[in-house]
Structure 1
Amino acid sequence: MPTTKRESILFGTMMCFGMVLIMSVYNLFLNGLIGELSVGEMFIEGAIGFMIALFLDLFLVGPTAKKVAFMLPYDKSKKVYVILAISFCMVVGMVLFMSLYGLGTAFLNNGVRTGSMITSYFSIVIKNFIVAFPLQLLIMGPIVRFLFVKIIKGKNSMSVA
């Protein structure tokens, strides 16, 4: 989809914003914090999560996920397979890192309530992956790709003419 560095940054920003927004609400709901935190606190938490996710997407997880996805054995001539491979690798990487961020913020706010840190981390990873993977494949991926083509690619094709 993105063909330039600028387009990659815009695409990543759009994808991160949508994923972080929905996953933040999911995690707030999951942890019973919807009524506990003020709107300002939720906004700050979301903004920090977005900045961390965008950094990871652009500089660590994104490049690594693309390398891994293209190393996997599948027919790379089919665009849908490439999208699925990259999406899968991105979700795995982002869930692993952002769950670590979530565990850290939970620990700083109120400590680990049950079990060990490792058990809590893997519990968070599983819960986040169950939602993040279908969210990425079925909702955010198609929406962001559609908006990207209509808004970003549409502008670029008009400016060339």
Structure 2
Amino acid sequence: MPTTKKESLQFGLMMCFGMVLFMTIYNLFLSGFIEAITLMEVIKEFIIGFLIALTLDIFLVGPGVKKIVSKLPIDKSKKINMVLAMSTLMVLAMALFMSVFGLAISYLHNGNEDNSLLKDYFSTFLKNFIVAYPLQLIVMGPLVRYLFIKFVLKIKCNCNEY
């Protein structure tokens, strides 16, 4: 949907903001920290998570997913195929990377508790993916695409009229 680098950045900012906001709150509830830490700590964790997610999206995951999707044997003329392929691979990759961040935050607040790091990582990844995938497909994806078309592309169209 974005056609320029500027539009891709705007779309990525909107998507990362929404996904990181919901996933931060989800992970705080999941780990029981939502009542144990201050609002400033929540905001700090959100900002750090947002910056990490945006950096991953711009420099690693986004370009990688675009290359993979361009090589997939799907009918690229159908918008739904492209949306599903991009969304699925983006959520999978971002969940893989951001689960490391979530696990680090959890260990920072809770300690390791003598669990296996690998077991904790895969548990964190599965819990994140199970929520992030439907959140992306059902809520954030359609919402961000709507807002992007309504405000970002509308502004672009209005600017060209003058």
TM-score by length of 2: 0.97
1:6-46 superposed Cα distances (whole Å, 9 cap, x missing partner): 10000000000000000000000000011101000000000
C-alpha root-mean-square deviation of aligned residues, in Å? 0.9
| Percent identity between the two aligned chains | 53
**Other-structure match for 1:68:** 68
> Following TM superposition, where does structure 1 have runs of at least 4 consecutive aligned residues deviating by more than 6 angstroms?
none
Q: Point out where structure 2 has 5 or more consecutive residues left out of the alignment.
A: none
TM-score by length of 1: 0.97
User: Which string of whole-angstrom CA distances, capped at 9 and with x for unpartnered residues, describes residues 80-134 of structure 1?
Assistant: 1001000001001100000011112222333222520000000000000000000
Distance 1:52 1:17 in 2: 11
Gaps of 5+ in 1: none
How many residues get paired?
161
From the superposition, tell whether residues 157 and 88 of structure 1 become closer, same or farther in structure 2 (CA, over 3 Å).
Answer: same
Which amino acid is the alignment partner of residue 119 of structure 2? T
Q: How does 1:8-47 map to 2 (within 5 A)?
A: 8-47=8-47
Contact 1:112 1:120 in 2 (8 A): no
Could you say which residue in structure 1 is the equivalent of 2:149?
149
Distance in 1 between the 2:113 and 2:145 partners? 39
Distance 2:153 2:88 in 1: 24
Q: How does 1:72-91 map to 2 (within 5 A)?
A: 72-91=72-91
